[in-house]
Every structure is written in C-alpha cells, then in structure tokens.
Structure 1
Amino acid sequence: MRTTLTSLAVALALGSLASCGGGGDGGNQAGEAQTGKAKDAAGDKTIATGLGSNGRFAALAKTAGLDQTLAGPGPYTVFVPDDAAIAKVPAETSAAWSKPEGRGEVTRLLTYHIVPGVVLADDLGKAIDRGKGKAQIITMGGGTLTAAKEGGSIVITDGNGGKVTVTKADEQYLNGAVHHIDGVLTPGKN
C-alpha cells in the first residue's frame, strides 16, 4: 500500500476501518493532519524537541539517525517506551545497539514504534470499538501492532505477542503526537 494516509485514515487503516478516513496521496503534512486546537496544544515543539536529549528513546533515535526525522514535518505518532522499560532490555542486546553494525536493528526497532499520521487515543479507542475489540496499526517499519482495550487502558500487542500499556497519551507536538508506553515493542521475526 503506497498511499500516504492522514491522521484518522492511519488510525483506521486498521483492518476493516480503512475507509473511514480522508486518506489521500499527498496530504501527509502536519498542518493538514491537526485541528486548530491540536496545533495550539502543540505549540512550536517537534517530537524530537519534546523527547529532549536525556531519555533513552531519544538517544536511540539519535543512534538510528531518526532524530532528524522526528524533528521534520511529519506528521507522526510515536509510542515511546519509558526509560525503565528500555533498561529491561537484555544488556547484550542494548550494547549491540550502540555499535555501527547494530544501527539497522535499532532503526528496525524504533520504526516499529512510529506510525505515520496523528493518531490520538480517541482515534485508537474508536477504531478498537469499530473493530469489535481490536484495531490493526501499520508502523513506519511496515510491521503491524494490534490495539485493544483492557481495564480501561489501551494495550498494544506487538509482533511477538508482547503487550504494553499506554501510560500517558496524546502529548501533541507540531509534527505529531506521542503516547508513552510501559514496555518496548518488538517486531516479529521476518
């Protein structure tokens, strides 16, 4: 699927819901993807600026060369694991990420946390409801995540069956939105 999708269309490119958005082939600009209210909430910070330079996710984004992408026009939605979640990654895996030969794996991992367009928690909730309890989300890396509701929270299941919970939703930035999660999403084996 080579069509560029805008915010709600991305949320609804989830299974059978793809027809509910305004997906066009050229409307993937932050200004078109956000309402006036969202733009006001976002201010002038990009996702890269909002993540700062001290967090582990931001450091990995820099290692992968994605910091410039997250500073660009977007729009993007990023599921950001908290530092404690990234710290739980086995030491041999995280040590490999800092080596030049590990850059491809870091990029694959991080693009699995990024979705094109602005997908707010309300969009996810509606997509889950319309999908009879589940919604498929296509990532920038081409992987698939599954969103569901559990106990009043949005839970994301990755390609290996691992589950993370959205702990803080809808941080809005000039070029998209960030949802904080309590774990690292891992793509399935290709």
Structure 2
Amino acid sequence: MKNILSVTALTATLFAAPIASFADGHSAANPMVGGAEMFPTMNIVENAVNSADHTTLVAAVQAAGLVDTLAGDGPFTVFAPVNDAFAALPDGTVETLLQPENKDQLVKILTCHVVGAEVMSDALMGMINDDGGVHDVPTLGGCVLKASYADGVMSLTDENGNVATVTIADVKQSNGVIHVIDAVMLPAM
C-alpha cells in the first residue's frame, strides 16, 4: 500500500497540462451512473457502492483491501469498469481473482485503473493533443495506459492491447473523479 501511495506525488506532477474541449454536451451537472445520482460531496467508494453497474468493481475493491485507500484524501482518477467489462473476462477469472490467495494480483489489476491525481477529460484531451494523438497515463499499479481520442470517443489501451472506451466522463467525487469504462485494463502479462 505504501508503494501505491508513494507514487501519488510523482504521478500528480505528470498531469499538469493545458485544458482543451472534450465531448459534446459537457455540462457542470454530475452524471447518473448505474441508475444512481453521483454526489460530488461523496468520495469514490461512497458513490461507487450506489452504482448498479459497478457491483463487481466494488466487490473487487473490498476483496483487495483498497476501500480505505480509495475513500482517502486523494486526489484520484479512477477508470471504473462496469460489470459487463468484468463479465467479458474469461470464465472464472473474476472468481479466481477474488480468492484471498490472489489478492496481490487483484490489487495490481485494480490499481492499474487508478491515477494519483484528479484528471478531468478536458485536461486529458489537452495531453492527448499535446502528444500528437496518444498520451501515456501512468497508473498507481505501475501500468501505463495509452489514452487517445478519435471520432468523438476517448479510449484507453492497456499494455496487452485491450481497448476500453470512456462511456461516462467526469463524474466528480470529493477526492477525485471517476471515468466509467467498458473494459478491464490489465497489466502486461
């Protein structure tokens, strides 16, 4: 856990960038996620437990012992895979990862979805543009995701070539922001 949190300061410095415009209809109101209102006064964990689309993610965060971390001060950016993203993994993967003996691997996978800074979509768009169309996003799990934007869609690519689309951006939290994604990002195998 200390290694995860020690990367926070370094990662935060990597996300200072100019702001550019993002998607159509970007509004100040926090979006609904999984049928639940997301409150910017609540932390990442408090909001995530209310989303019907994130029950698998919440169970995994609990099994990994990351609740206190993600409920902490942050700031954090969480790329939050929906239940269908976990269901798309090979049969038995989620069940295996949730077993106590696989906790280290689960922590690694989950922290590959977390950045130690608050990164709103417009800032990420600025970084993508500044880097010629693809921006490296270092995560607290040591993974580097590749962020890109094409045809009105922001995507992340993990170290194995798996691609996730950001389906809901900029869900503000008291300790950061959540971007909902449609695939699980995995560390290099």
Q: TM-score, normalised by structure 1?
A: 0.79
Structure 1 43/98 Cα, relative in aligned 2: closer, same or farther at 3 Å? closer
Query: Structure 1: which 4+ aligned runs deviate by more than 6 Å?
Result: none
Unaligned runs of 5+ in 2: 1-5, 19-27, 30-37
Q: Is the 8 A contact 2:42 2:173 kept in 1?
A: yes
Percent identical among aligned pairs is 34
Give 1:91 shift: 2.3
* Cα RMSD after superposing both structures: 2.3
Structure 1 176/160 Cα, relative in aligned 2: closer, same or farther at 3 Å? same
Q: Which amino acid aligns with 2:88?
A: K
* Distance in 1, Cα, partners of 2:40 & 2:139: 25
Q: Is the 8 A contact 1:5 1:117 kept in 2?
A: no
Q: Is the 8 A contact 1:135 1:148 kept in 2?
A: yes
* Distance in 1, Cα, partners of 2:118 & 2:166: 16
More helix by percentage: 1
Q: Which amino acid aligns with 1:125?
A: M
* Distance in 2, Cα, partners of 1:95 & 1:49: 24
SS of residue matched to 2:92: helix
Aligned to 1:159: 159
| Equivalent pairs, count | 164
* Distance in 1, Cα, partners of 2:44 & 2:71: 6
Aligned to 1:52: 49
Q: Is the 8 A contact 1:10 1:116 kept in 2?
A: no
**Among residues 6, 9, 33, which one is paired with 1:4 in the alignment?**
9
Aligned to 2:186: 186
